[in-house]
Amino acid sequence: MPLQAWFESKVAPTAEALAAGDGCHPDEAQALARYLSGDADIHETAIRITSPIQSDTNPSEQTYRLWALICEAIVELSDEERHKTISLLAAIRDLPPTSSGLALSKLPGFASMWDTLYRLHLHGPDGWEKDLEGLSDDRKVELRRHFDAVGTAEAEMFLQDLVPAQWGFKVLDLLSSSRQGIDVLMSEIHAWLRVAGSRLREEVRMDDAAAGPDRVATLEQWTKWKIALAYPSKEGSKISEEGRRLAIQCVDRM
């Protein structure tokens, strides 16, 4: 989809739709479009794109609108546009406080929006996992691309300290869950390790204190994940050839 058409699809068509949360503010879309096309610098854009929220009578209740636009730009647009949008998110975080009282330094609501859009599968099986045998090859390719895009984006945000290491550990913990869709989900695990595997490894605790997917991982947990990756990387496993290829690369990056 051409970039202009993509932005047009994200803008709320009416004031009523905007109030109902059906799309972003036109000024938010315009600010991001100008920035991605090279017509505005990052600091100017950070101010402009947050202006509609900052001027609202209740800015804390309007952040979801901007976060939805930014989240979708990060995942749906090109690699270059993803990099630029993530850098913009960091610039928004670094904006000085304003009289609106909205603490953008904490990116309020961003994690919740991202979780709703792209991490629900970490809370339980997605619908497509219930009919794996019925998935066409084209659908599997589409899903792999989606999870690769999500994992890549999350890992890049982690490297800019926009999301915590726990996000990556929770993705790796899919290896502990006996998920039917692990063959496809391997694309997300691979993306995290490809982009930020060494940095994630630095976050691992060396002692054996209890840890889970919502806390810092221990060396014991990290080792279990690596062992879990060893099985699908072998010939004879039920994982596809593509899944085995990714699993082998994952082991090398741990």
Global pTM reads: 0.92
**What's CA 187's distance to the chain center, in Å?**
13
Cβ atoms within 10 Å of 59's Cβ, excluding its own:
18
- What confidence tens digit (pLDDT) does each residue in 170-188 have? 999 999 988 889 999 999 9
Compute the average pLDDT of residues 146-168. 98
Contact 95, 46 (CB under 8 A): yes
The first and second tokens of residue 53, run together, are 């929220």
Secondary structure (H, E, C), 116-181? HHHCHHHHCCCHHHHHHHHCCHHHHHHHHHHHHHHHHHHHHHHHCCCCCHHHHHHHHHHHHCCCCC
- What confidence tens digit (pLDDT) does each residue in 5-58 have? 999 999 999 999 998 889 999 999 999 999 999 999 999 999 999 999 999 888
Count the alpha carbons within 13 Å of 114 in the hemisphere toward its beta carbon. 20
- What confidence tens digit (pLDDT) does each residue in 75-98 have? 999 999 999 999 999 999 999 988
Compute the average pLDDT of residues 216-225. 92
pLDDT of amino acid 250: 96
What proportion of the chain, given as a percentage, has pLDDT over 90?
Answer: 78
